[in-house]
Chain A
Amino acid sequence: NAGVTQTPKFQVLKTGQSMTLQCAQDMNHNSMYWYRQDPGMGLRLIYYSASEGTTDKGEVPNGYNVSRLNKREFSLRLESAAPSQTSVYFCASSQGGKRGYEQYFGPGTRLTVT
């Protein structure tokens, strides 16, 4: 089991460029999440998908879009990157439901926007 995988590991963008961060899980989990991690701010939820076919905004959704492509895959898109989106992005998944709150994290994508 690979668990949660993310691509790419590193990315440098110029302001205004677009890109998609990919995430996949092989644990047959129902729920998937995208977070950003910034110094002193901890982890902040960008978007989540409670189940295949649904997506919802988290704390900091502005400037991002997501797609739950199927049960395994959940992508995060930056349409027009801004320096404020320089961060480390983590994808996570969980079983969901009353006994499935534990989240499993991917290795992260380190994004720099210049």
Chain B
Amino acid sequence: AQRVTQPEKLLSVFKGAPVELKCNYSYSGSPELFWYVQYSRQRLQLLLRHISRESIKGFTADLNKGETSFHLKKPFAQEEDSAMYYCASTRGSQGNLIFGKGTKLSVKP
């Protein structure tokens, strides 16, 4: 079965430190990959999609097909980055997304 794995439930860093949130997917085809962010008690918002190759709020993510990974990175974390981050992958040719279990990022002052 297709899976999206986020190995860290919680990631805690200090302000100004680099951040890397890991995501691995199992689909062997050509999925679309996304990162969603959820600030405290708010709705999920799209942060990045791999086909856009853009940087949002200083975050970037590169699709590595060889390692089936789509890690989210930011060189200097800010306190306002504290949130829940979900990695998601398309499910085959269907429009559904499979979500990882999420990583809670805590940026300390």
Task: Enumerate chain A residues within 8 angstroms of B86, measured Cβ to Cβ.
Answer: 42-43
- Cβ of B43 and Cβ of A42 under 8 Å apart? no
Known contacts A105-B43, A106-B43, A108-B43; is A94 also within 8 Å of B95 by CB?
yes
- Residue of B at shortest CB range from A97? B95
Task: Name which of B43, B86, B94, B101 has the most chain A CB atoms within 10 A of its CB.
Answer: B43
**B99 in the interface, Cβ–Cβ < 8 Å?**
yes
Known contacts A58-B96, A105-B44, A106-B43; is A42 also within 8 Å of B101 by CB?
yes
Q: How far is the CB of A11 from the nearest CB of chain B, in Å?
A: 16
Interface residues of A in 58-104 (CB under 8 A from B): 58, 90, 92, 94, 96-97, 100-104
CA distance A104 to B99 in the complex (A): 14
**A50 in the interface, Cβ–Cβ < 8 Å?**
yes
Known contacts A41-B101, A42-B100, A101-B32; is A107 also within 8 Å of B95 by CB?
no
CA distance A106 to B97 in the complex (A): 16
Task: Enumerate chain A residues within 8 angstroms of B102, measured Cβ to Cβ.
Answer: 42-43
Q: Classify the secondary structure of B's interface with A.
A: loop
Interface size class of A (residues with CB under 8 A): 20 to 34
Known contacts A90-B44, A107-B43; is A43 also within 8 Å of B34 by CB?
no
CA distance A58 to B94 in the complex (A): 12
Interface residues of A in 6-50 (CB under 8 A from B): 31, 33, 35, 40-45, 48, 50
Task: Enumerate chain A residues within 8 angstroms of B42, measured Cβ to Cβ.
Answer: 107
- Residue of B at shortest CB range from A43? B99
Q: How far is the CB of B90 from the nearest CB of chain A, in Å?
A: 5
Task: Name which of B9, B43, B90, B95 has the most chain A CB atoms within 10 A of its CB.
Answer: B95
Interface residues of B in 22-41 (CB under 8 A from A): 32, 34, 36
- B-side interface residues toward A, CB under 8 Å? 9, 32, 34, 36, 42-46, 49, 86, 90, 94-97, 99-102
